[in-house]
């Protein structure tokens, strides 16, 4: 078993806001991130697939294919977008576009496409909001 990672970057804006809460409570929970005019990040996305290298090509997956899948499934939806306003999973009343939720949403977008790839499976997603902060998701719901 080998783990192969492809990195991509995207820029997006977001804010954190819960419609069920008062402005005060939103400000208390989310601080500056509650500003409805939004702010941006340059995100780094890492997509790791796992599998056995093909005996002939030595590839787990074709990296150009993986690049195209990431572009089609994630970057086209998130890059240079306002996540709250343009990505349906982060619309008002749905998930907040936190680093954690972006990692889960990217997994959900990529997983069906990667499952179709012969022999490889999606293993891990990392989303870096800054060089100091990232969230990692492996598709598990399990207990803490």
Residue 64 CB burial class (10 angstroms; 0-12, 13-18, ≥19) = exposed
Which of 43, 50, 44 has the alpha carbon at shortest distance from 5?
Answer: 50
Which of 119, 84, 120 has the alpha carbon at shortest distance from 105?
Answer: 84
Please identify which of the residues 73, 80, 89, 136 carries the catalytic annotation: 80
Q: Which two tokens stand for residue 109?
A: 């977008």
Residue 86 annotated in active site = no
Please identify which of the residues 46, 100, 129, 136 carries the catalytic annotation: 129
Please identify which of the residues 33, 86, 100, 136 carries the catalytic annotation: 33
The 3-state DSSP class for residue 66 equals helix
For residue 127, the cross-strand partners are 45, 135
Residue 82 annotated in active site = no
* Cβ pair 41, 11 in contact under 8 A: yes
* Cβ pair 101, 91 in contact under 8 A: no
Residue 143 annotated in active site = no
Q: Which two tokens stand for residue 66?
A: 């993986």
- Provide the annotated active-site residues: 33, 80, 129
């Amino acid at each position: 078993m080998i783990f192969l990672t492809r990195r991509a970057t995207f820029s997006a804006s977001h804010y954190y806001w819960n419609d069920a809460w008062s402005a005060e409570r939103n400000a208390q929970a989310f601080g500056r991130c509650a500003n409805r005019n939004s702010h941006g990040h340059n995100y780094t996305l890492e997509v790791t697939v796992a599998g056995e290298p093909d005996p002939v090509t030595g590839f787990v997956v074709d990296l150009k294919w993986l690049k195209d899948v990431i572009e089609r499934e994630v970057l086209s939806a998130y890059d240079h977008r306002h996540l709250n306003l343009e990505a349906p999973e982060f619309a008002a009343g749905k998930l907040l576009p936190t680093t954690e939720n972006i990692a889960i949403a990217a997994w959900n977008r990529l997983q069906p496409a990667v499952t179709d790839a012969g022999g490889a499976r999606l293993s891990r997603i990392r989303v870096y909001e800054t060089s100091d902060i990232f969230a990692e998701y492996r598709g598990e719901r399990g207990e803490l």
